[in-house]
Amino acid sequence: MLPPLAAHILLIVIVACSILAMLIRPRRIAEVYWIGAGALLLIVLRLIPLALAGRAIAEGTDVYLFLAGMMLLSELARVFGVFDWVASVAVEHARGSCMRLFTLIYLAGTVVTILMSNDATAVVLTPAVFSAVRRSRANPLPNLFACAFIANAASFVLPISNPANLVVFRTQMPPLLRWITAFGLPSILSIVSTYVVLRWYFRRDLRCDLPRDQQPTRLTGNGRLVLVGIVLTALVLLAASAINRDLGLPTCLAAIAVACLVLARSRTHPMRVVRHISWGVLPLVAGLFILVEAIDSIGAMRLSAAALEWAEKLPASAGALLTAAAVGIGNNLVNNLPLGLIAGSTLKLTNAHGLIANAVLIAVDLGPNLSVTGSLATILWLIALRREGVHVDFRDFLKVGAIAMPIALALAIAGAVAVTAL
């Protein structure tokens, strides 16, 4: 049995190495194996009790159900041609302009993120965008990066726009109207500033003309049924959010209902859909929950609570900005979903509310635009790209994120300060 100090050091080393390996993906081994190996090693070495690890996994049940439902809807949309149809519509309305196609994709990502969550943008929209740019023969990277960045930039418009919102405010969720009042202006500033930065960064790639789409894709009857199912699922999520209910089970049940109806109508074998879903995302999330629980077990929560109490004693704007900066950077070290758990527990422990609490949530949602490991949505985006044979290096993402994230975060916090002052 290791002495407590040695055990704590070993635990921190294992967690840090797991996160670092997830970041750089040695030999292109998928993130789930690095995180899973780290979590398993913590259990085998008894650095975290098995019961505590089980509790950490159980805490993610709502997230697993939500992701499973979204991935099922995404695969149905791919199989039955919804993505190809969306691509055709986007290219047609771009009218030969790369810049217009980029703007349309960014707007589509904004709507999907607001109504179906940032994970849906990564899982559902990214394959459609890849289909669109492949069809138009445009440079795919600006448009694919638009999907990744808007998935986080618009993720605090509504509570359902990001599962992390429900984790952060799980014990003190504001009413919907109060939420919109508090986060409306910060969201607008975040969305617009991120668009401006991306458009500037990729300005050379967007100065091009596209061939006109001479044969637009028609949506089949089954495709229309899937599209209606996605819209109805979005309405279910809005209703569940309005009454402050968990989103995982309604999302999963709605997706299963849509799948049963479409597969029965088309006489398609379920394995044609199920076998192509990236199920490895679920153990990846479970492993992240275990790593965070392990860090919390050695007193991380006390440190975060002390830091938040110190920030509350500063002038309002300075405290909010420093808190947001710390949380925003922290997202990229442990991922925003587990960090959201820590942040939510810290807010409850310190009874923090108002501007500081709002700054924490904005940073949990927007901070991940710095690196590829910042949010689950970005990891899902990477997985979606790999399925299409596209690989984005973490350094390429960081070059964009190092400009876009700090600007959007500073403006969003400024908006939150202005709203609070009214």
* pLDDT at res. 209: 78
Does pLDDT of 313 surpass 70?
A: yes
| Angstrom distance (rounded) from CA 22 to CA 30 | 8
- The predicted model gives 217-230 an average pLDDT of 88
- Confidence band, pLDDT 50/70/90 cuts, at residue 171: low
> In total, how many domains does the chain have?
1
Specify whether the CB–CB gap between 147 and 126 falls below 8 A.
yes
- Confidence band, pLDDT 50/70/90 cuts, at residue 157: very high
pLDDT digits (tens, 9 = 90+) for 105-126: 899 889 888 877 888 788 778 8
DSSP secondary structure letters along 33-45:
HHHHHHHHHHHHT
Cβ-based neighbours of 416, under 8 Å, separated by 6 or more: 182, 183, 185, 186, 320, 355, 358, 359, 362
Does pLDDT of 80 surpass 80?
A: yes
DSSP state of 124: I
Q: How crowded is the C-beta side of 334, counted as CA atoms within 13 Å? A: 24
| Angstrom distance (rounded) from CA 243 to CA 127 | 32
Specify whether the CB–CB gap between 123 and 380 falls below 8 A.
yes
Does pLDDT of 296 surpass 70?
A: yes
Does pLDDT of 301 surpass 80?
A: no
Indicate the length of the chain as a whole number: 422
* pLDDT at res. 410: 96
Rg (CA), the chain: 21
Joined together, the tokens standing for residue 203 give 């300005």
User: Closest by alpha carbon to 407, among 232, 193, 250?
Assistant: 193
If one compares 312 and 146, the residue with the highest pLDDT of the two is 146
* pLDDT at res. 174: 74
- Confidence band, pLDDT 50/70/90 cuts, at residue 213: low
User: Closest by alpha carbon to 154, among 413, 310, 415, 365?
Assistant: 365
Q: Residue 411 belongs to what H/E stretch?
A: helix 394-421
Q: Which domain holds residue 296?
A: 4-421
Q: Which residues pair with 209 in a beta bridge?
A: 97
Give the alpha-carbon dihedral of 404, 407, 409, 413, to 10 degrees: -160
**Residues above pLDDT 70, as percent of the chain:** 96
| Angstrom distance (rounded) from CA 326 to CA 341 | 15
CA angle 32, 44, 61 (to 5 degrees): 50
Catalogue the long-range contacts made by 103-111 (C-beta closer than 8 Å, 24 or more residues apart): 103/195, 103/199, 105/129, 105/132, 105/143, 105/146, 105/147, 106/146, 106/150, 106/195, 106/198, 109/146, 109/147, 109/150, 109/151, 109/154, 110/150, 110/154, 110/191
- Taking each helix axis from N to C end, the angle separating 300-312 and 355-366, rounded to the nearest 10 degrees, works out to 120
Lowest mean pLDDT among 137-146, 186-195, 199-208: 137-146
Specify whether the CB–CB gap between 129 and 143 falls below 8 A.
yes
Cβ-based neighbours of 108, under 8 Å, separated by 6 or more: 86, 90, 125
